[in-house]
Structure 1
Amino acid sequence: MKFNRNRFWQLATAVLVFFLVVSVSPEARLAGLLIETLGLEFFLYLFQIQILIVLASIYSLTRPYILRVNTFFERIDPYYFVPTRKMVKTCPSILVHSVPFLVGGYLIVFLGISAYA
């Protein structure tokens, strides 16, 4: 049986609208009518756009603090750096260096290398 994407969205819309219309709260009934009018796929796109806008605003607000933390870790941990995308493509295991204190902790714990040697 071949998967029909259009049929899937029609069925999902019908189930969701039925659930919202049968529910008791009038706000849910209005949401059901809105979803029926716009279509479930378009409604989910609008919802995803709202989530992306909220995440982008949170990122823009916290970016200065993230950069301060990054410079702090770069000063303290000699093995810490944030690799570029090109570096990750050539050697994916280099992502280990972007986790603070992971490489240094590995060297100290597993290899027995002293931090003062």
Structure 2
Amino acid sequence: MSKRSETVDTIVSKAQSDSDFRQALLSDPAAAVSKELGAEWPSDVSLRVVEETPQEVYIVLPPAPKGDGELSDDQLASVAGGGSHHTDCSWGATCGMGSIIGDC
């Protein structure tokens, strides 16, 4: 499981068991997450929290792949060599919470 998935699971679990946190999360997601995780949410990364209902279901799509889906020579070399250098981060360019929301 990725760090991002673990973080989301932690936030959802807390929201399921703590109604005050749930309301804070719906009112001001960045502030609620920052307080819960003890790290400031990056100001250049938008955070949206929505609550499903029996009549409304959400599917979250990851960012569309860049280019034609082919790996560049550098990306291919990194994968082939077992490296883990990331040049792109789906949580924003600065990854201010990289250690909490994903490794960039």
- The TM-score range, normalised by the shorter chain, is under 0.3
> Which has the higher Rg, Structure 1 or Structure 2?
1
Select the structure with the greater relative contact order (CA < 8 A; seq sep ≥ 6).
Answer: 2
Larger helix percent: 1
